[in-house]
Amino acid sequence: MTITVNVNGQKHQVDAEPDTPLLYVLRNDLELNAAKYGCGLGQCGACTVMIDGKAALSCVTPLLVAEGREITTVEGLGTIDNPGPIQRAFIEKQSAQCGYCIAGMMMSAAALLKQNPKPSDDDIRSALRTNLCRCGTHMRIMAAIRRASE
């Protein structure tokens, strides 16, 4: 089945089963590798993207659900040469240790700041409740999101 997805402002036609996880299509078909496969069960947040401006776990989002909606990945927040404000804040605060969770953290942060540009610490904690970091850099991640909200 051919399904059209709109990722980072570009339309792509993908030949895949409608229940294929969006994460697989992003990584394997579109070669957008920022979103990570962690658990594949909707429990770790490594695969977080934005769909229509809201954080979504792409490992448990069937491709058909994503059809026709606006999908944003970290690649859509900025580039290596021209990072966006959230990416700059994560770099400035050295938020990554191993880095595996960071793309998901950034996308949850992006969705939060879109809806709430001046979040409290509780708002940030709540927005990140589905994102796990095994290295324990949560304080630096929170600092980055505070910086990005300034």
Residue ranges binding ligand FES (CB under 6 A): 37-40, 42-47, 57, 59
To ligand FES, the closest distance from the beta carbon of 67 in angstroms equals 19
To ligand FES, the closest distance from the beta carbon of 82 in angstroms equals 28
Taking the least distance from each CB to ligand FES, the nearer of 46 and 148 is 46
- H or E element at residue 72: strand 70-72
DSSP symbol at 76: G
Q: Which residue is nearest to ligand FES (CB)?
A: 59
To ligand FES, the closest distance from the beta carbon of 140 in angstroms equals 21
DSSP structure string for 93-145: TT--SS-TTHHHHHHHHHHHHHH-SS--HHHHHHHTTT---SS--HHHHHHHH
Taking the least distance from each CB to ligand FES, the nearer of 61 and 87 is 61
CB count within 10 Å of CB 98 equals: 10
To ligand FES, the closest distance from the beta carbon of 20 in angstroms equals 14
* Dihedrals phi, psi of 7, to nearest 5 degrees: -120, 125
Taking the least distance from each CB to ligand FES, the nearer of 137 and 149 is 137
